[in-house]
Chains A and B, each alone.
Chain A
Amino acid sequence: MAVAAWQGCARLSWWRVRPAALFASRRGYSTMPVDDTINGLNEEQKQMRQTVFRFLQQHLAPKAREIDQTNEFKDLREFWKQLGHLGVLGITVPAQYGGSGLGFLDHVVVMEEISRASASVGLSYGAHSNLCVNQLVRNGNETQKEKYLPKLISGEHIGALAMSEPSAGSDVVSMKLKAEKKGDYYILNGTKFWITNGPDADVLIVYAKTDMSAVPVSRGITAFIVEKGMPGFSTSQKLDKLGMRGSNTCELIFENCKVPVSNVLGHLNKGVYVLMSGLDLERLVLAGGPLGIMQAVLDHTIPYLHVREAFGQKIGHFQLMQGKMADMYTRLTTSRQYVYNVAKACDEGHHTPKDCAGVILYAAESATQVALDGIQCLGGNGYINDFPMGRFLRDAKLYEIGAGTSEIRRLVIGRAFNEAFK
């Protein structure tokens, strides 16, 4: 086992620096325990959560505030390699390509723990490990998998996926990025927008229209693998977002970008199947994000309520605060059971778009509510940026929009029922 990756990280001598310094820097806060027996995890998954949790609380959580304030993760590349070493970048990839060969439930748990430490890094992680890597695993041919997966799994390369455009978000099949075949290449022209990891990605899965006159419109979409450095491909400056700051998002520009024919992912004009089935799993795995945010809110709120005093007692003992704790906890736990169970079902091969949309719909809206409650519990302290409660709210809101807006998710579920009665 290589230990070179660890040489660079200095371990804080935590047990010599407590307690005063810890409270001042807020690094030593007690996190709330997660009852994994109720969550239905097996021994391996419990151990995995423990390991990943310890690593992240040590190496990511202390940086979360700075990442949000500066809208930049300075040690991104180094951290990605550490994640690769842990084995979490290729969780669903079969062992033969260097992956961990695990399932969606394991992926959700890791996504949750990363988001608990820093939701923006969690989003980048989700985009890399599920949107890019998992799509390659499911749709790539042997050559493509062997070419691109190893470095994506080790953390040397960062992955991304591009479907949205400035005028095509929810209505993604109306995308205008054009791909015209010229000999051994496809020439791409157009732009993509809202692309997570856009500025940093080395490998991107891009959806483009290869047949502008297809009927229906969706039948003209093809997925491509684009590499940073391909002629004609560039990115413009990163977006200044409300939340998920540090998870770099930008516009992609294709000006006569030459992509080899061998980089077509899946089949020509069949990109919509790649896209839609990918969306289901994307929603499932990304649902781990709001779970992590809710857990982080609890981690900070519950201890605070038992430290802060008013009217001669700890405010956690007042009934209205008890009510808030109960509401936050039950929202988190119900969301968790839904997400974990659907993930388990997907691992067993039972995969329904209705539930994949349902889990992220419910988890995201719960997360926004829990984050709002978290701010309320901390009162004035919740309103200042010395405490992370504001960041939790800003980060949580994204999950109601990205990976299909709440409105679209509702449509998916409603239409699934309509289908059953056709």
Chain B
Amino acid sequence: MAELRALVGVKRVIDYAVKIRVKPDKTGVVTDGVKHSMNPFCEIAVEEAVRLKEKKLVKEVIAVSCGPKQCQETLRTALAMGADRGIHVEVPESEAERLGPLQVSRVLTALAQKEKAGLVLLGKQAIDDDCNQTGQMTAAMLDWPQGTFASKLTLEGDKVTVEREIDGGLETIRLKLPAVVTADLRLNEPRYATLPNIMDYEAARALGGHESQPPSSPVCGPPAFACSSLPLYLQLVPIGTRTCFLSSSNHGESSTLKLFPL
């Protein structure tokens, strides 16, 4: 049984089928009350991670999402698809609009190191901003090799062979783990969470939820956040607005993450 941990980033975006409307003040698009769901490329990444776990090449699949409270729904979907744990990096709604690939890749870098992940799987891009930067930046910050636009992934021992879809056709590269891979459309066809899975997850969550005490001293610069944890599956990791702090101390069951400034 492999010791490899896969960290999968999932982003909550406006659903692909929704008719997008521009805000009357032209500062952006209407997001209030609009249907959101997991970024399709992130679904493909989660599916790949879960398939690797089923093949016993990966020990644990950890889903991560950065954003406001509603991101927990996206994490729930990832868990229902087969991820083992979900980490929600909470960013208040007011700041969430300024959250971009640079910030997210810093978060992922820190989490990958903290969780000792050997493989970071992301979608190639998000369908709301089409940045196509997070995977590449994360790899650079971690100083890990990267295989982007993957349409085929093969894990063998400590090497991963990635077939990439590039402008000229297909390119096959071999990376030594740990590595970052971003999923392209044809990597796989994501599964639909089955009813028993959705119910199992919710039932387990209902049984096991308890909140731990927030740390006595605020660890982030204003505004201060309490660090609460939902055990069993979800961990809330609050970060500050401008600067993200860390505390390397553990307050009982809760611990906050050491991150560097946004």
Q: Contacts of B198 on A, CB cut-off 8 Å?
A: 44, 47-48, 51
Complex alpha-carbon distance, A242 and B140, angstroms: 63
Q: Is A15 an interface residue (CB 8 A)?
A: yes
| A24-53 with Cβ < 8 A to chain B | 28, 30-31, 33, 43-44, 47-48, 50-51
Question: What's the Cα separation between A1 and B54 when bound, in Å?
Answer: 8
Question: B166 on the interface (CB 8 Å rule)?
Answer: no
Interface status of A303 (Cβ within 8 A of chain B): yes
* Interchain CB contact under 8 A, A47 and B77: yes
Give the distance to chain A from B47, nearest Cβ to Cβ, in Å: 9
Enumerate chain B residues within 8 angstroms of A9, measured Cβ to Cβ: 189
Report B-chain residues with C-beta under 8 Å of the C-beta of A31.
Answer: 17
Q: Does B80 lie within 8 Å of A47, measured CB to CB? A: yes
Cβ B195 vs Cβ A86 within 8 A:
yes
The number of chain B residues touching the other chain, given as a range, is: 20 to 34
- The interface on chain A, measured as residues whose beta carbon lies within 8 A of the other chain's beta carbons, has a size of 34
CA–CA, A30 to B192, complex, Å?
Answer: 20
User: A1, B194: Cβ atoms under 8 Å?
Assistant: yes
> Closest B-chain residue to A100, C-beta based?
B195
Taken together as a complex, chains A and B put the C-alpha atoms of A11 and B82 apart, in Å, by 20
Whether a CB of chain A sits under 8 angstroms from the CB of B19 is: yes
The answer, yes or no, to whether B260 is at the interface (CB within 8 Å) is no
**B40 contacts which chain A residues (CB < 8 A)?**
15
Least CB distance, A375 to chain B, in whole angstroms: 23
Q: How far is the CB of A295 from chain B (nearest CB, A)?
A: 14
A54 interface contact, C-beta 8 A: yes
| A49-101 with Cβ < 8 A to chain B | 50-51, 54-55, 57, 85-88, 91, 95, 100-101
Decide: A91 and B195 in contact? CB cutoff 8 A: yes
Q: Does B185 contact A (CB under 8 A)?
A: yes
Does residue A421 face the partner (Cβ distance < 8 Å to B)? Answer: no
Residue of A nearest to B205 (CB): A43
Q: Which residues of B sit under 8 angstroms from A6, Cβ to Cβ? A: 189, 191
Q: Is B51 an interface residue (CB 8 A)?
A: yes
Verify B82–A1 contact, CB threshold 8 A.
yes
- A15 to B18 Cα, complex, angstroms: 12
User: What 0/1 pattern do residues 30 to 41 of B give for CB contact below 8 A with A?
Assistant: 000101010010
Answer whether A87 and B195 are a contact pair too, CB < 8 Å, given A15-B16, A43-B202.
yes
Question: A153 CB to closest chain B CB, in angstroms?
Answer: 11
Interface assignment of A383: CB less than 8 Å from any CB of chain B: no
| Interface status of B24 (Cβ within 8 A of chain A) | no
Residues of B within 8 Å of A43, CB to CB, are 202
User: In whole angstroms, what is the CA distance A309 to B251 when docked?
Assistant: 63
Is there contact, CB below 8 Å, between A13 and B195?
no
Within 8 A of A (CB), among B45-61: 50-51, 54
A residues less than 8 Å from B194 (CB atoms): 1, 85-87
Query: Is the pair B189, A102 in contact by a Cβ cutoff of 8 Å?
Result: no
Chain B residues whose C-beta falls within 8 Å of the C-beta of A55 in the assembled complex: 192
Is B169 in contact with chain A by the CB < 8 A criterion?
no
Contact of A102 among B80, B193, B195 (CB under 8 A): B195
Binary flags per residue of B156-188, CB closer than 8 Å to A gives 1, else 0: 000000000000000000000000000001000
Q: Is the CB of B195 within 8 A of A88?
A: yes
User: Chain A residues with Cβ under 8 A from B192's Cβ?
Assistant: 51, 54-55, 86
Provide the residues of chain A in CB contact with B77, threshold 8 Å: 47
User: Does A14 make an interface contact (CB < 8 A)?
Assistant: yes
A223 to chain B, nearest CB (A): 28
Residue B224 interfacial (CB < 8 Å) = no
A contact residues around B19 at 8 Å (CB) = 30, 303
Q: Mark B69-89, 1 if CB is under 8 A from A, else 0.
A: 000010011001010000000
**Interface pair A14/B195, CB less than 8 Å apart:** no
The distance in angstroms between the C-alpha atoms of A50 and B195, with both chains bound, is 11
Q: Kindly report which residue of chain B lies nearest to residue A306, judged by CB atoms.
A: B19
Interface residues of A in 283-333 (CB under 8 A from B): 303
Asked if residues A44 and B199 are in contact (CB atoms below 8 Å), the reply is yes
A141 to chain B, nearest CB (A): 25
Q: Is A3 an interface residue (CB 8 A)?
A: yes
> Taking CB as reference atom, which chain A residue is nearest B44?
A11
Interface membership of B127, Cβ < 8 A: yes
Q: Which residues of B contact A30 (CB under 8 A)?
A: 17-19
Q: Any chain A CB within 8 A of the CB of B196?
A: yes
Which residues of chain B have C-beta atoms less than 8 A from A88's C-beta? Answer: 195
The answer to whether A13 and B51 touch across the interface, beta carbons within 8 angstroms, is no
Chain B residues whose CB sits within 8 angstroms of the CB of A33 once the complex forms: 33, 35
Give the distance to chain A from B84, nearest Cβ to Cβ, in Å: 14
Q: For A3, A16, A91, which residue has the most chain B Cβ atoms within 10 angstroms?
A: A3
> B191 near A14 (CB under 8 angstroms)?
no
A28 touches B199 (CB 8 A): no
The answer to whether A11 and B195 touch across the interface, beta carbons within 8 angstroms, is: no
Output the residue of A1, A6, A303 with the most chain B CB within 10 A. A1
Chain A residues closer than 8 Å to B80, beta-carbon distance: 47, 51
A-B contact pairs, 18 of them (CB 8 A): A6-B191, A9-B189, A13-B185, A15-B127, A16-B185, A30-B18, A30-B19, A44-B199, A47-B77, A47-B198, A51-B192, A54-B37, A54-B192, A86-B194, A87-B195, A88-B195, A100-B196, A100-B199
Which residue numbers of A lie inside 8 Å of B, CB to CB?
1, 3, 6-7, 9, 11, 13-16, 28, 30-31, 33, 43-44, 47-48, 50-51, 54-55, 57, 85-88, 91, 95, 100-102, 106, 303
Can you list the 4 inter-chain pairs with the closest CB atoms, starting with the nearest? A87-B195, A30-B19, A44-B202, A87-B194
